Structure 1
């Protein structure tokens, strides 16, 4: 049995740029998304063997992380190992910001680090889906992917990273929480499903050309479609403030509470616009937070 400890970390996200139903190889329809990764949000995991036959997690509430570690141990023929899994995360819970997925991925990777194994990303994502039913695409840091979050399948790899985006985070219902797994998947109508096809094409072009403004338009369109299923209070007001200060669009946590006003990080005027928009949001009673690329 390996000695010492395994360490890993995974990042959170700020909801999605796109989420909907998309064709897979021209036939099967899958629910899929493109997450907006947020490197300032992180979950860190430390996996250490102990002399018991129990796999314990601290804090005890991180059951999905414990389950992910257990599945990873079993997948590589080491069942019955007693261990302690320590999770340290700064990701807000139940806001749609990937706290569970980050815990799960960090736990899987920490076990693999302890075992000295490099597993394929497909294997990691399948374990993650088994541990929490659905997960996000934040494992793929170096390139943007359209990810079927309930199947653990990459539907399309865009081969390039997302263009640099700065954004202002607004929690539209600070007193409420959303359990992603309890949230019923959106039931899109035929028109909405047909709209996702051109949005996918525009998304592909935006990433290929590093066109942040086009990406902002795509994210805004996806957010508006999904407003029917989980409305964000005062979204129109937030959008109006963003328009005053040259935001390139807005995105949402499609199964959470946060809205992000997006700005092109390569625009020299963006820092000033972000500060002014943040001040305007505060004057309207919001508690915004700024996230830089």
Structure 2
């Protein structure tokens, strides 16, 4: 009897995808205050307080690729190197928490926030990524752990992982220096773009720690603490303007004099800028008489000065405001808010 031919092994294909997780993160609109402050040990420390925007800026999905090395992470769209680095770090951290072997995976990011403008686009991507990886591993990472991973991936990070509370946050260390309160004072913000919307290299900016700067920033810290405690929008505007003015020694926005002049003419409480970018805003007290007229005048004046208005939002919104339009992906011609 003829022996039956031996069966050939079935060709091996790629391993079936493993668990998938999802995460999202908000963005911000630059800073109310940024400078150098003393920490609990009395040492100078770069830190900031951001102006939150109540939108989901980045969403991420992460799918395990079983059997692959933990550093084999592919990212869509390409070029998001900070998010990829965050995914690798988060995979290893989550696997260690589960006592399991880490593996690579596929990361997909979505969102329409412009890059490099000082709105926390990279931090938003990184936080969404870390949350998606953690979700895929069935791990819940606290904000402090997310902050540490974000700083390792980026070099500096905004405090978006902590939610919208006003925090004085050491962006290069990932730690909270002070919780200023539950919420910023109520304000309506008319956003705009300076410098043609060009990106700014955050980490290349100098950090000053002169004694006179430390004294000035500590004074603004006390003012902001009082503004939050008293829900004082006028004082919030003074802090934002003073901080932005100090930062002009580094950023040198040519539009800054026009921005502050428009704020004065239209009765704004003050201005704020992204100290590491080109997004800016004029802050209005929502209780100001004739607010709608003032907001229209502000947007028109910005346009006449060649400063594109972008969107109008509030510091106290719980849902998108009527008339708010999304950010465009091509920021050279930003969408204009219809006020």
The worse-fitting range, judged by mean Cα deviation, of 44-53 and 148-157 is: 44-53
Q: Give the Cα separation in 1 of the matches to 2:234 and 2:197.
A: 32
SS in 2 for 1:139: helix
Q: Is the 8 A contact 1:13 1:41 kept in 2?
A: no
Structure 2 partner of 1:24? 39
Deviation at 1:131, TM superposition (A): 0.5
**What do the CA deviations read for 1:121-164 (whole angstroms, capped 9, x no partner)?**
11110011000010001222242110000001100012311123
Deviation at 1:283, TM superposition (A): 2.1
Flag the 1:100–1:121 CA change in 2: closer, same or farther, 3 A.
same
Flag the 1:192–1:259 CA change in 2: closer, same or farther, 3 A.
same
Deviation at 1:263, TM superposition (A): 1.4
**Does residue 75 of structure 1 match 2:93?**
yes
Alignment size in residue pairs: 292
Flag the 1:163–1:18 CA change in 2: closer, same or farther, 3 A.
same
Flag the 1:289–1:74 CA change in 2: closer, same or farther, 3 A.
same
**What do the CA deviations read for 1:50-103 (whole angstroms, capped 9, x no partner)?**
356221111111110011111011012255413111111221111111111100
**What do the CA deviations read for 1:167-218 (whole angstroms, capped 9, x no partner)?**
122222126321212x233324322221111111111111111111111101
**What do the CA deviations read for 1:14-38 (whole angstroms, capped 9, x no partner)?**
1110011111125111110001111
Structure 1 partner of 2:74? 56
Q: Give the Cα separation in 2 of the matches to 1:232 and 1:41.
A: 28
Pairing partner for 2:211 from 190, 214, 217: 190
Unaligned runs of 5+ in 1: none
What TM-score results when the alignment is normalised by the length of structure 2? 0.81
Q: Is the 8 A contact 2:57 2:113 kept in 1?
A: yes
**Does residue 11 of structure 1 match 2:26?**
yes
Q: Is the 8 A contact 1:41 1:91 kept in 2?
A: no
The worse-fitting range, judged by mean Cα deviation, of 158-167 and 90-99 is: 158-167
Q: Which has the larger radius of gyration?
A: 2
Q: Give the Cα separation in 1 of the matches to 2:290 and 2:101.
A: 55
Q: Is the 8 A contact 1:20 1:31 kept in 2?
A: yes
SS in 1 for 2:147: helix
SS in 1 for 2:161: coil
Structure 2 partner of 1:85? 107
The worse-fitting range, judged by mean Cα deviation, of 140-149 and 121-130 is: 140-149
Q: Is the 8 A contact 1:167 1:260 kept in 2?
A: yes
Flag the 1:206–1:110 CA change in 2: closer, same or farther, 3 A.
same
Structure 2 partner of 1:237? 258
SS in 1 for 2:284: strand
Structure 1 partner of 2:182? 160
Structure 2 partner of 1:260? 281
- Indicate the RMSD between aligned Cα atoms, in angstroms: 1.9
Pairing partner for 1:224 from 245, 250, 262: 245
Flag the 1:280–1:128 CA change in 2: closer, same or farther, 3 A.
same
Q: Give the Cα separation in 2 of the matches to 1:32 and 1:23.
A: 9
Q: Is the 8 A contact 1:186 1:226 kept in 2?
A: no
What TM-score results when the alignment is normalised by the length of structure 1? 0.93
Flag the 1:241–1:85 CA change in 2: closer, same or farther, 3 A.
same
Flag the 1:118–1:51 CA change in 2: closer, same or farther, 3 A.
closer
